[in-house]
Structure 1
Amino acid sequence: MAKRLRPQSLRAQLIVFFMIISLVVLSAASYIIYTFMLNQIKDQNQRLLYQQFQQVDHNIHGLVGDVDRLSKLFLLDDQIQQMLLHLSDKSELEFLGYKNMLHAQIEKFISNYGYIHSIYLTTENQGAMGGSGDTTLVQSKEEWNRTFFGSEVFKRSVEAFPDMIIQGGLRKSYFNPYLTGDKDGTLFSMIRGVRAIYDPKTSATLIFNVDERYLASLYSADLDPSDGDMYIVDAQGNILSGSRPERIGTRSVFRPSEEQAADYGSIDDKAGNASYQLVYYKLQDAGWYAVKEIPLKLYSGQILAVQRILIAVFLCSILIMFAVSYFWLRKMIKPLRLLAGKMKDVSRGELGVTFDSVPDNELGIVVRRFNEMSLSIVDLLDKNNRMQEAKRELEIEALRYQINPHFLYNTLNMIRWMATMIKADNIVNTIVALGNILRPVFKSKDPMCSLRDELSYLENYIKIINMRFNNSIRFEIGVDEPVLDCRVPRFILQPLVENAIAAGRQEEDRAIYIAIAAETEGGELRIRVTDSGVGIEPERLNELNRLLDSGESQQASEGGGGIGLSNVNKRIRLYFGPQYGLRFEPREKGAEVVVRLPAGGA
C-alpha cells in the first residue's frame, strides 16, 4: 500500500486533503461538544448550588429573624424599660446599679441563646454598656462616642428606626480593645435604635452581636475545602464571612455594585494557573451575596470521561473515514488508472482500444472522449490508407501509359518533315499542336501548374480536336490576369472539355460552343466550364452530384459525366480534401460544371 499510495499520486493527495478537511471538521465538532458538555456540567452544578444557596439564605434569614425577636424581647423587660427612662436624669454613679442589672440580663440571654456573642446598649451620655457572658465593655465613654456615634452605622440605625439593620465586618476589638490576637474575631452586628415605651424619641442603640464563626457554620459545616471556598460579600465585594477565615476582610473579584449583578448567576475567573467558576446568590437580608468559588478542576472527572468518549469517537471516526475514503477514492479513480493503461496500449500501437463500461460522472466524459478519439484514429488511418492506395493506383495507371518521350518526339518530327515535304500544312499544324500537348507531360514531374499553363494546354488540345471536327468548336476563355497565376493540378480541365464536346455532338450539324471562366472568392478558386449541348436532365444532374460528393466511381454515359470526371474529382479531393471537387450546376440550356480549388498562388 505504501508504494501504491505514493505522495505524488492523485489518490494519495485526495485522501490527504479529505483527511485534513475531516480533521478540521471533527476537531471543531469535538471542541464544540466539549464546550457544550462543560457548560452543561457547570449549569447542572449551578442548579444544585441554587438549592444550597436557598437553604443558606433560609438559615441566615432565620438567624436574623431570631435575633430581631430576641432584641425586642430584651427591650420588653421591665428593668430595661426603667433604665431607658432614666438614661438622661441619672449620674454615672447613680446609674451603676442599672449597669449591673444590664450585665445580669445580658449574661442570662447569652447563656440561653448560645449563638449570641455579646449585647451592647449605647447612649450619648452614658457611652456603651454591656459585653459577652465573660467580658464587659472597658472602653471609655469619650472614645466610644468618638468611634460609634459619628459612624455611618449609627446614622443608618437612626434612619431605619424602628427596624433593625445588619452590619458585618466589625471586629470584637472594636467593642473591647483588649480582645486582641486569637481572642479577636469578626462579628455580625444587628443594630436598632430603641426608646422607652412611653418615650417619643429614641434614647439609645441596642447592638446584638453574632460571632462570624457561627454564621459560617450555617453554610460551611459540611463543605469540603477541596470543593472551593464559599463566602458572603457586601455590595462592594468585601468578604464579610467565609469558609476560610483568612479571607475575611479581603475583596472578592465579584463586586455586585460594579457588575450590576442579578439575583443569581455565575462568572468565570482565573487566578494564576487555576480557573474558577464563581456562582453568586443574593440573600434576603442586608443586600449581601453568598458566593461559591468552584475550581474548574473539580469538573475534571466528569470532563475527563467526556474527553475519553470524544477521543474514542474521534479516533474511530478517523479510521472509518480513512477506510471509506480509501476505498471510495480507489473506486472513483479506477477509470483514470484504466485510462492510463489504455493510453499506454495505444502508444504501443494497439489502435481502436475502447472502454466497455463508462462511469456516469465527470470521469465518464473523459472516457467517452477517449473512446471517440481512439475510434477516430482508426478511421483516420483507414482513410489515409485508402488515399495512399488510390494514389498508388493512379500512379500505376499513369505508368502503364507512359511512353519513352525521345521515341515519341523523334516519331512526331519525322511525320512533320514528311508532311512538310508534301506541303500538307494541316498535318504540320496538327503535329506541332500535339507536340505542345505532350511536352509538359514529359518535361515536368510537378503535379501542379499555373492556370495559365493549363489553359495553354487546352488551346493546343482544341486545335487538334478542330482538325477532327472541321473547326466546328468555338472555344472562349474569360479569365482575369491575376487569376491566371493560381496553382491547379495538371490536366484537370481537359477531361471536362472532352465531356463537353461529347455532349455537344449529340446534336447534328450544330457548332459546339465551350466557355471557360475563373474567379476567386473567399480564398477559393472557382473554374466554370459551360457548353452549348443538350444539357443534363435534373434527375441525372442530382445523381451525378451525389456520386461526386460521395467520391464513388461513375460509369461512362452519354451526355458527359463519365470516368474522366470521376478521376478529376478524386484527384482534387486527394490533394485538397473533401470540401473541394466538381459539381454540376443546373442550366436552361447546355451544361455547366464548377471546379472548386483553394486559391493558392494567386
Structure 2
Amino acid sequence: MINGELYKLVMKMGKFIRNLLQRQTLFKEFVIAFTIVSMIMTILGYLLYYNTTFKILQNRQEIETIQQFKQLDRNFINFFDSINKVSVILLDNLSKRYNSEYEDGISQLMKINDYSDDNAISLLNNMGNDFSQLMEENSLIDSIFIYTGKGGVIGRRATFSKSQIRGEMDEYVYKSGLYENIVENYPKLQWFGGNNIQNIGGFDDHGSSDNDASLITAARSFKSIYSDNSNGSNGVLLININESELTDYYKYAFDYDKSNAYIVDTSGKIISGVDNSLLGTKSTEFNEIDLKKDYGSFVQKDGKDKKNIFYYKVKYTGWILFYEVPLSMYRKDINILNKILVLIFVINLILILAISLLIMKRITIPLNSLTSAMRKIGNGSLGLMINNSYNNEFGLLAKRFNQMSLDIENLMKEKEEIEKKKREQEIAALQAQINPHFILNTINTIKWMAVLANTSNIAESMSVFGDLLKPLLKMKSDFNTVKEEIEYLKNYVKILNYRYGNIIKLNVELPDELFEYKLPRFILQPIIENAVQHGMDSTNQPFMISITAAAEDENIQIKVCNNGKEISKEKLDEIRLSLRHPIDSENNASSRIGLSNIEKRLNIYYGHGYGLAIDSNEERNTVVTIIVPMQG
C-alpha cells in the first residue's frame, strides 16, 4: 500500500517537473533559479561543515596521538632504564666476583688470554652463568656479549654460547667502527638498532629461526679500576633485545587498520616497526621532519590518497617514532554525519522547492494577469483594464498599465481623427484645382493675344502667372524641395509686384546644402500672402521680405521676416491662441490658406514637436519661424 502511494507521488512529481520544463515561463525560470541558488548555498554549507568537521577530527587525532606519544615515551624510559640496570648489575657482579688486592674480575677478563686453559675455562663458565641468570630474570634480553678489544668475544644466548679468547679483530663490531664509537662515549649507555645476531655476536645460531631477527642493542664501554689503559677503556658490553619486544610497547597503542607505526634511528633507518618488511630500509618521511622539534605532524601524498604523519623524538636515544594515518580514516568517522547531512540536505531541498513554488506563485499570478492583458491589447482590445488589488510594486505596475492602455486608446482615436482631417484637406485640394490644364491653356491664349496687341506687360504677367500655376500640376507628392519652394515664392512675388508697383522686395539667404531637403508643398506662400495683406501700409514705401534658414541638430529652422506694420499684443496673442487651438476647417474654410492651416499641416506631417511661431516688435519687424525635420 505504501509503495503504491509512493509510486503515485513520484509519478505526479515527475509529471509536474516535465510540464515545468516544457513551458518556457517566467514562473519556471524563477523556480529553477531559486532552487539552483538554494542548492548551491546548501552544498557550500555542507562542504564547509564537512571540511570543518574533517579539520576538527584531524586536530583531535593529532592531540590524542601526541598524548599517546608522551605516554609511550614514559614506557620507553622504563624499558631503557630496565636494560640500563641489567648492564650495571652485570658489570658490578663481574667486578666484585673476582675482586682481589690488585685486580678485579674485569681485569682478569681482559687478561684471560694469559691464563692457563683450566683457569680461563673456569672464568668463562662463571661469566656464562652470570649471563644466563640475568637473561632468566629479564625475559626481554635476547643475548649478551662482551668484546675485550683484543679480538676476544664472550657471549651467551638462550640456545648457544660463544667464547673466543683470541681473534683477528674481523668481527662486524670491530670492522664497522661500532666498537670505537662505543669506547669513545664511555661510560654512556648507547642504543643501536637494525642489526641481527650474525652481526652482534659474529656467527650463526645453527638451527635457530631468529638469526635474521632485527635486534635492539644497548652498548656500554667498561673498564677496571686497576686498568692502565691510557684511554680508560677495557671492553664493550652488548645487551641485545629482539626488535619485537620494543614494538610491543607501542603496537597496541594505535589503530592499525591501514595505518602504520615504526621507529627510525638518527640516520633514518627503520629499526622497529609493525610492518617487518620495512626493517632496515630508509624512511622517506625522515627527510620531511624538523629535527629541532620534539614532535610534529605533516600530510604526505600516498598514491591516490593522502596520509597524516605524526612523529615524536624518543628520549635518551634520539630515535624518531612515526605514526602514519590515512586521511580516509578520518572520513570513516564522519560517515554517520554524512548520512545525516544528506538526509537534511534532501529535506531542505524539498522544503526550498515547496516554499519557492509558493513564493513564485504569488509573484507570477499578477505577472501572468499582466501578460494576458498585454496579449489581448496586442490583438486589438484597446482600453482593457486589469484588476489592481496589490499595494506593492505590482500595484504600481498595474496602475501604469491601465494608464498606458487608456493612452493607447486615446492615441489611436487621435490618429484616426488626424487621418480623417488629412483626407478632408486632400479632397479640398482636389476641389480647388478646377482643371489646371484648362486654366493654363486659357492663360496662354490671353498671353498671345497680348503679344499680338503689343502689350508686353500683360504678356509678361501672364507668363509669370503660368509659371506660378505649373507646380499645381505636380500632385504626385505632398512635398517640394526647398529650392522649388523658393522658386515658387519668387514667381508669386513677381505677380504681386505687377499689382503693387514693384514695392515688394524679396531677399533669400539660404545655405546651398539646404536646397535639396523636402518641405510640405506651398508651406511658405501663405506666410508671404498674410504679410502683404496685413503688413503693407499705404505709404508706397518699399516692403522688405527676407527668408533665411539654418540647420539646428536634426532640424531646419526657416525665418520669414518683413518690415510691415507692427502687430498689436492683443492681436498677437489671438494669433498664437489660434495656432495652439486651430479652428475646425468645416466652420472656417478660409483657415485652409492661413497660418492655422500651416500649423495644422505641420502637425499632421511631423507631429506636435514641430510647427510655426510668430513674433512682432516696435522696430516694425514681424518674424514667422517654421521648424521642420531634415528630410532628403
1:53 to partner: Cα distance: 1.9
Contiguous gaps of at least 5 residues in structure 2: 1-15
| Contact preservation (8 Å) 1:472, 1:512 | no
Whether 1:521 and 2:543 are equivalent positions in the alignment is: no
1:281 to partner: Cα distance: 1.5
2-side partners of 1:177 and 1:390: how far apart? 131
1:304 to partner: Cα distance: 1.1
| Contact preservation (8 Å) 1:121, 1:206 | yes
| Contact preservation (8 Å) 2:294, 2:312 | yes
Q: Which residue of 1 aligns with 2:131?
A: 106
Whether 1:566 and 2:596 are equivalent positions in the alignment is: yes
| Contact preservation (8 Å) 2:436, 2:472 | no
Q: How many residues align?
A: 574
Q: Which residue of 1 aligns with 2:616?
A: 586
2-side partners of 1:231 and 1:600: how far apart? 95
Q: Which residue of 1 aligns with 2:50?
A: 34
1-side partners of 2:433 and 2:155: how far apart? 156
Q: Which residue of 2 aligns with 1:545?
A: 576
2-side partners of 1:401 and 1:211: how far apart? 134
* 1:182 aligned partner, one-letter code: S
Deviates more, 1:363-372 or 1:73-82: 363-372
1:472 to partner: Cα distance: 9.0
Please give the per-residue CA displacement for 1:279-324, whole angstroms capped at 9, x wherever unaligned.
3211102211223343555445413123223423443454455455
1:160 to partner: Cα distance: 0.7
* 1:247 aligned partner, one-letter code: S
Deviates more, 1:258-267 or 1:102-111: 258-267
Whether 1:72 and 2:88 are equivalent positions in the alignment is: yes
Q: Which residue of 2 aligns with 1:84?
A: 106
C-alpha change, 1:105 and 1:351, in structure 2 (3 Å) is same
| Contact preservation (8 Å) 1:235, 1:256 | no
2-side partners of 1:298 and 1:405: how far apart? 108
2-side partners of 1:196 and 1:381: how far apart? 129
C-alpha change, 1:191 and 1:474, in structure 2 (3 Å) is closer
| Contact preservation (8 Å) 2:219, 2:237 | yes
Please give the per-residue CA displacement for 1:441-484, whole angstroms capped at 9, x wherever unaligned.
99748377854455645665776xx6xxxx79954444589999
2-side partners of 1:487 and 1:592: how far apart? 22
- Provide the secondary structure at the position in 1 that maps to 2:248: helix
Whether 1:251 and 2:278 are equivalent positions in the alignment is: no
1-side partners of 2:312 and 2:508: how far apart? 113
Q: Which residue of 2 aligns with 1:194?
A: 222
C-alpha change, 1:490 and 1:71, in structure 2 (3 Å) is closer
2-side partners of 1:283 and 1:599: how far apart? 98
C-alpha change, 1:69 and 1:348, in structure 2 (3 Å) is same
1:259 to partner: Cα distance: 4.4
| Contact preservation (8 Å) 2:526, 2:595 | no
- Provide the secondary structure at the position in 2 that maps to 1:219: coil
Deviates more, 1:377-386 or 1:322-331: 322-331
1:61 to partner: Cα distance: 1.4
- Provide the secondary structure at the position in 1 that maps to 2:21: coil
| Contact preservation (8 Å) 2:270, 2:279 | yes
* 2:272 aligned partner, one-letter code: S
- Provide the secondary structure at the position in 1 that maps to 2:335: helix
* 1:256 aligned partner, one-letter code: F
Deviates more, 1:143-152 or 1:164-173: 143-152
User: TM-score w.r.t. structure 1 length?
Assistant: 0.74
1-side partners of 2:234 and 2:631: how far apart? 136
| Contact preservation (8 Å) 1:266, 1:277 | yes
1:329 to partner: Cα distance: 5.8
1:205 to partner: Cα distance: 1.7
Whether 1:289 and 2:320 are equivalent positions in the alignment is: yes
Deviates more, 1:364-373 or 1:577-586: 364-373
Please give the per-residue CA displacement for 1:517-567, whole angstroms capped at 9, x wherever unaligned.
43443375847464654x32234324433432x143499xxxx99994434
Whether 1:5 and 2:21 are equivalent positions in the alignment is: yes
Please give the per-residue CA displacement for 1:404-423, whole angstroms capped at 9, x wherever unaligned.
999999999xxx9xxx9xx9
Q: Which residue of 1 aligns with 2:251?
A: 220
- Provide the secondary structure at the position in 1 that maps to 2:239: strand
C-alpha change, 1:14 and 1:487, in structure 2 (3 Å) is closer
1-side partners of 2:602 and 2:259: how far apart? 104
1:161 to partner: Cα distance: 0.3
Q: Which residue of 1 aligns with 2:9?
A: none
Give 1:416-455 correspondences, 5 Å limit.
440=469, 444=473, 446=475, 451=485, 452-453=487-488
| Contact preservation (8 Å) 2:195, 2:216 | yes
Give 1:166-185 correspondences, 5 Å limit.
166-173=191-198, 174-175=200-201, 177-184=204-211, 185=213
Deviates more, 1:153-162 or 1:141-150: 141-150
Contiguous gaps of at least 5 residues in structure 1: none
2-side partners of 1:160 and 1:563: how far apart? 133
2-side partners of 1:222 and 1:443: how far apart? 118
Q: Which residue of 2 aligns with 1:53?
A: 69
1:497 to partner: Cα distance: 3.9
User: TM-score w.r.t. structure 2 length?
Assistant: 0.71
| Contact preservation (8 Å) 2:505, 2:544 | yes
* 2:82 aligned partner, one-letter code: D
1:339 to partner: Cα distance: 5.4
Of residues 302, 309, 314, the one that matches 2:340 is: 309
1:578 to partner: Cα distance: 4.6
- Provide the secondary structure at the position in 2 that maps to 1:210: strand
| Contact preservation (8 Å) 1:106, 1:133 | no
1-side partners of 2:348 and 2:253: how far apart? 45
* 2:107 aligned partner, one-letter code: L
- Provide the secondary structure at the position in 2 that maps to 1:154: helix
C-alpha change, 1:247 and 1:139, in structure 2 (3 Å) is farther
C-alpha change, 1:581 and 1:80, in structure 2 (3 Å) is same
| Contact preservation (8 Å) 2:246, 2:272 | yes
Q: Which residue of 2 aligns with 1:137?
A: 162
Deviates more, 1:381-390 or 1:586-595: 586-595
1-side partners of 2:304 and 2:438: how far apart? 119
Give 1:409-558 correspondences, 5 Å limit.
440=469, 444=473, 446=475, 451=485, 452-453=487-488, 456=491, 474-478=503-507, 489-490=521-522, 493=525, 497=529, 500-501=532-533, 511=540, 514-522=543-551, 524=556, 526=558, 528=560, 530=562, 532-533=564-565, 535-548=566-579, 550-553=580-583
Identical aligned residues as a percent? 22
2-side partners of 1:280 and 1:601: how far apart? 90
2-side partners of 1:269 and 1:306: how far apart? 26
Give 1:243-392 correspondences, 5 Å limit.
243=274, 246-247=276-277, 249-251=279-281, 253-256=283-286, 259-261=289-291, 262-268=293-299, 276-296=307-327, 298-323=329-354, 337=368, 340-352=371-383, 377-378=408-409, 380-391=411-422
2-side partners of 1:492 and 1:300: how far apart? 93
* 2:144 aligned partner, one-letter code: I
2-side partners of 1:194 and 1:525: how far apart? 125
* 2:129 aligned partner, one-letter code: A
Q: Which residue of 2 aligns with 1:62?
A: 78
* 2:246 aligned partner, one-letter code: L
| Contact preservation (8 Å) 1:6, 1:12 | no
C-alpha change, 1:562 and 1:133, in structure 2 (3 Å) is closer
Deviates more, 1:337-346 or 1:13-22: 13-22
1:357 to partner: Cα distance: 8.8
C-alpha change, 1:492 and 1:260, in structure 2 (3 Å) is closer
After superposition, the CA RMSD in angstroms is: 5.2
